[in-house]
Amino acid sequence: MEGTRPIATFALVGSSAIVTGAARGIGYEIARQLMAAGSDVLVYDIDGPGAEAAATTLTQEVPGRRALAFEGDVADEQAMRNAFDVATAALGLPKILVNNAGINDLRPLVRLSVDEWRRLFDVIAMGTFLGTREMARRFMEHDVRGGAIVSTSSLNFVIPTVGYAHYCSAKAAVSQFTKAAALELAPLGIRVNAIAPGLTMTPLAGSFFAERPEIPAAFVERTPLNRVGETSDIAKVAVFLASEAAGWITGITVHVDGGAHLVGLPDSWALMAGPLGLPEPTPSDWLSTP
């Protein structure tokens, strides 16, 4: 009957959350929006002082909610366990996890070192795996059901560009892992989804782009909605995916890019190598002298 259909609720699936890479940028805004929606948040970041500053500001900005800082590397298995221990003791068992921590640099494939490839995969792909696995284990240990995991992928998971072979590959791993994890964790009532942002104006990006307006302009030219993204654009989708309103959504990567995935990306190397002072690679970059 018409009157028996439920009204949509955007209440979060839980009142305790962990957000990695939350000291600044997209992660910070996701933490802020989750708090505004009713969750306490563990601000997990490798930058300890940055995490402390972010947690202090967030707690002041969102009355009635609490942000707690945690310093750790998401690629460190013990650190991830410790983060869940701290969050559970102080805020309650986290039922929301946002795997947002990431790093990136512009580097041609032939110049990439093994250590650089591994470190980027450790932070983006390993960090996502460790956080997801830890949350699932906690749910099983405590016989809990009903949670949400949201991971930050990238438009680069489907659209490659020169200079980002390592980054494109790691983000593709996040999106494919999201599908596999969604299948395995469905019996626990944990929904697993990802967000693929387009070019987003974080404070760090903003300072660089202010000096090089031609770079964001090139992205806007390929964005049907005709603007660069804001951190709030990404955070609002994360909150939705962590809410009851997304209760029948799992295993997807949502494009939050103003439609850029319909058009494509500009050549990042051609746009940014010069401004970043990166020369074209030559064999001297990797050949050692006997």
- Predicted confidence (pLDDT) per residue in 222-257, tens digit: 999 999 999 999 999 999 999 999 999 999 999 999
Stronger pLDDT, 56 or 207, i.e. the higher one: 56
| Residue 2 domain-assigned (yes or no) | no
From the list 88, 58, 86, the residue with the least C-alpha distance to 72 is 86
Residue 202 in domain:
yes
Domain membership of residue 287 (yes or no) is: no
How many domains does the chain divide into? 1
pLDDT for 1 = 46
- Give domain status of residue 171, yes or no: yes
Q: What is the pLDDT of residues 68-84, one digit of tens each?
A: 999 999 999 999 999 99
**CATH number for position 255:** 3.40.50.720
- CA separation for the pair 147, 14 (Å, rounded): 7
For residue 44, indicate whether it is catalytic: no
* Cβ(183)–Cβ(251) below 8 Å: yes
What pLDDT shows up at residue 171? Answer: 98
Residue 233 belongs to domain spanning = 7-281
In one letter, which amino acid is 129?
A: F
Q: Please check whether residue 245 lies inside any domain of the structure.
A: yes
Residue with tokens 């989804």: 193
The answer as to whether 63 is a domain residue is yes
Phi and psi at residue 54, in whole multiples of 5°? -65, -45
Query: What residue type is 64 in one-letter code?
Result: G
Confidence class of residue 289 from pLDDT cuts 50, 70 and 90? low
Asked if the structure places residue 1 within a domain, the reply is no
Q: What is the pLDDT of residue 6?
A: 75
- In this prediction, residue 5 has a pLDDT band, given cuts at 50, 70 and 90, of confident
From the candidates 28, 44, 164, 167, give the one annotated as an active-site residue: 167
Mean per-residue pLDDT, 27-46: 98
Domain-located, residue 65:
yes
Position 158 pLDDT exceeds 80: yes
Does the global pTM surpass 0.75? Answer: yes
